[in-house]
Structure 1
Amino acid sequence: MGWQVVTAVAMALMVSSVTSQNRGSSAAANEGLAGICGPIRECPVLSSLLQDIKQGTAPPGSLDRLRNAICSFLNNEPLVCCPSQSLAVTAAPTRSPVVQATPPSSANVQCGNRGIADKIIDGEDAPLGAWPWMVVLRGSVNGRRSWFCGGVLVSDRYVLTAAHCFKEGLGLELEIARIGEHTLSFDPDCSKGRCAPSPQDIPVERIIRHPQYGSPCTECNDIALLRLSRPAVLHPRFVTPVCLPINPVNDMGFSEQEFQGKAAWAAGWGSTARDFTVSRRPDVLQQVQLPIQELNYCGRLRRGYPDPRMALCAGGEGRDTCRGDSGGPLTLDNQFGTKSFIVGITSLGPRSCGSTNTQGLYTNVHFYIPWILRNIQQ
């Protein structure tokens, strides 16, 4: 499935609540049917249509039909107007929809909701609000400041990133974690008549590297948490935590083994130059879609890892993450395309970014869920 289809489905389901309310009120009337506003999973005909769109087998006009069916939002989840005769007999009672006319409080912002409204190697500029959990880290070496690594917000107080960003001997002094950034040189970031809140520069209170980082292999256990000195101010469109794959089957609709073959999204402000001697940092957040797959190079990259599940391999088709993207996310949507989950952390790549004869290595977040939860709860 191409990235165009995935993006189109996300666009269909992640639109503004006010616009959706107007569309939804006429959705059933457009088809001449009475309908009930509820979750798409409880509407067989529209749920099946969504799957056909994802697989590229849907008839012309299907995307518009799905978009026009959105009738409201419940806790940031889009609800659809389901024709009454297609409702499942065993469907749960439909809850009264809560239309979000104004942004909810930070406490009500849920994870994994992308605000897509309509340079990583061979990547593209990300739309404003597409990746509201992105974090960029700024530090200094010998007084020289730079943006050096990425990360993702997993709660209002914790950022998930790579341990190698804080490897001993680098002489790096971490200054701040910037939350809610898109274009580094602009404040505020605006697009198509809407503007995001100013980014939040928050000092880091504590760096929690995995205690076994670097053992038994150099990049083994390449994962770290950053505890912010104060909670980030969440926003339903521009600052939200990404979801953790605590139980992939229940949360995402498929198992960790089924990550293979799926197209995941990576994002960051890392170098867009293939030549490792050239630093070409983009001003705008970049995004790229990479297949999670175990090619012949994968085993070589994971040589020395005591458990191959510790890392995922992705890319290998000329697209890649690069220097400065370290610590950034590799994300997959759930089966309904309504929430995003972080499944990988950018860890290790080829000397020449985007090489066609190798892949990138990403720390497998699901493997480390017990460690993540234990440290967040503490």
Structure 2
Amino acid sequence: MEQCSNNATCLHLDQCSGLYTELQQHPDNTLRNLTIQLHCGWNGSMPMICCPQEFLYNNKTSILGVDVGVRSPADFLPDLRTCGIMDISGSYSTLTQLDDHPWIALLKYEKLVGSGFHCGGVLISSRYVLTAAHCVKGSDLPESWKLSHVRLGEWHTSWDIDCMRGNCAPRPLDLPVEEIIAHEQYVPTDDHQNDIALLRLAYDVPFSDFVKPICLPVAASLRRQTFEGADMEVAGWGKTVTKWTSFAKLKFTLSAVNRSDCQSVYQRIGRNISDNQICAGGLMRQNSCRGDSGGSLMGQVSAMNWMAIGVYSYGPTPCGTPGWPGVYTRVTAMDVIRQIEVHVVSRQ
């Protein structure tokens, strides 16, 4: 694979959204020649190109004198040099390192007496967190609870300062929630269709080694993938085998399962699994659980980047029941991406 210049990244052609979109709409010889000049290798049968920073998402500008692309709703997202990046040199145990998955969030609710954390989410930009709709509306949320804050940069919920083997992280951030946006087609039913929501924070989050955004799968090739059999990770502070919650952030590796197989399992209890959902797990004691709702099913889709593939919606009781995978809202579903983009862009 060839080396790209400092302001470019070698990516699949369709991940260089500005150029890819223009090629689909105006496939002339000038653009074809431009693509050839930017070629940096192959990933199997997929061509790779040196995509300049400004073309990681669609923008109206030019490259090598050629006008390329129009501004896209995805422009609000952090680019691939910022999102989904973490140090993967740590332990492979279920106990995370201090800086593992630094986009994982905790949702804090004010209750009649005190407050507490009862759902999860992931940071997707400096201002927005992705979570489940049932964490912000519907019968699963007691009427007396009010979502007030999102906590970022947390590792051990009972410690003021998180430390591990002599290394310490800064205090976690508690950011007020300015606006709650559940998917407009979410209806609290047993099927939990469109179980996804955005939280707009009151101010921008400062990124650090312990607080970073995860990527969203905006590339067309990722939106089409089923991820069946792919290894994913989930992380959070939800219920474990021995405790109602975990004080420390844990992680598990799961595999996405065939939708038809998942459907045949959940039909036994009268639930439907649609194309907008993805199932993963189903092994003994390895799955998301109570308290993990809204957390992300995460896939490492490049050497550097992790992306939010699903949002945890529901699963079997007890959690980790063999043969019963967890059910996640598929972030790669086109209407889900559209809901995220349209709202966020309208507020920029």
CA distance in 2, matches of 1:91, 1:312: 28
Map Cα deviations across residues 298-320 of structure 1 (whole Å, 9 max, x no partner): 34437665x82210010011111
The 3 A distance-change label for structure 1 pair 283 and 261 is same
1:290 equivalent among 246, 254, 257: 254
Report the AA paired with residue 196 of structure 1. A
Give yes or no for the alignment of 1:309 onto 2:275: yes
Give yes or no for the alignment of 1:321 onto 2:288: yes
Shift of 1:150: 0.2
In structure 2, the partner of 1:149 is 119
1:208 equivalent among 169, 181, 196: 181
In structure 2, the partner of 1:186 is 159
CA distance in 1, matches of 2:165, 2:212: 21
Tell me the TM-score normalised to structure 2 length: 0.70
The answer as to whether partners of 1:216 and 1:304 remain within 8 angstroms in 2 is: no
The answer as to whether partners of 1:272 and 1:280 remain within 8 angstroms in 2 is: yes
Give yes or no for the alignment of 1:115 onto 2:87: yes
The answer as to whether partners of 1:330 and 1:342 remain within 8 angstroms in 2 is: yes
Report the AA paired with residue 338 of structure 1. M
For residue 156 of structure 1, give the secondary structure of its aligned residue in structure 2: coil
The 3 A distance-change label for structure 1 pair 211 and 258 is closer
Shift of 1:280: 2.2
The answer as to whether partners of 2:217 and 2:223 remain within 8 angstroms in 1 is: no
Map Cα deviations across residues 228-276 of structure 1 (whole Å, 9 max, x no partner): 11111111x2111000001152xxxx564341110100011001037xx
Q: Which runs of 4+ in 1 moved over 6 A?
A: 35-39, 87-93
CA distance in 2, matches of 1:341, 1:329: 9
For residue 148 of structure 1, give the secondary structure of its aligned residue in structure 2: strand
Count of aligned residue pairs for this structure pair:
275
Give yes or no for the alignment of 1:371 onto 2:329: no
1:273 equivalent among 226, 241, 246: 241
2:315 equivalent among 349, 357, 370: 349
Q: Name the structure where helix makes up a greater proportion of residues.
A: 1
Shift of 1:174: 1.3
Structure 1 gaps of 5+ residues are: 1-34, 43-86, 96-106
Q: Considering only aligned residues, what root-mean-square deviation do their CA atoms show, in Å?
A: 3.2
Report the AA paired with residue 356 of structure 1. P
CA distance in 2, matches of 1:317, 1:256: 26
The 3 A distance-change label for structure 1 pair 301 and 248 is farther
Tell me the TM-score normalised to structure 1 length: 0.65
Give yes or no for the alignment of 1:134 onto 2:104: yes
The 3 A distance-change label for structure 1 pair 217 and 201 is same
The answer as to whether partners of 2:298 and 2:310 remain within 8 angstroms in 1 is: yes
The answer as to whether partners of 1:298 and 1:313 remain within 8 angstroms in 2 is: no
What is the 5 A alignment of 1:231-270? 231-235=204-208, 237-247=209-219, 249=221, 256-270=224-238
The 3 A distance-change label for structure 1 pair 216 and 355 is closer
Map Cα deviations across residues 204-232 of structure 1 (whole Å, 9 max, x no partner): 01110111112776411100100111111
Report the AA paired with residue 245 of structure 2. R
Structure 2 gaps of 5+ residues are: 11-39, 53-77
The answer as to whether partners of 1:181 and 1:199 remain within 8 angstroms in 2 is: yes
The answer as to whether partners of 1:163 and 1:209 remain within 8 angstroms in 2 is: yes
1:175 equivalent among 145, 148, 156: 148
> What is the percent sequence identity of the aligned residues?
34
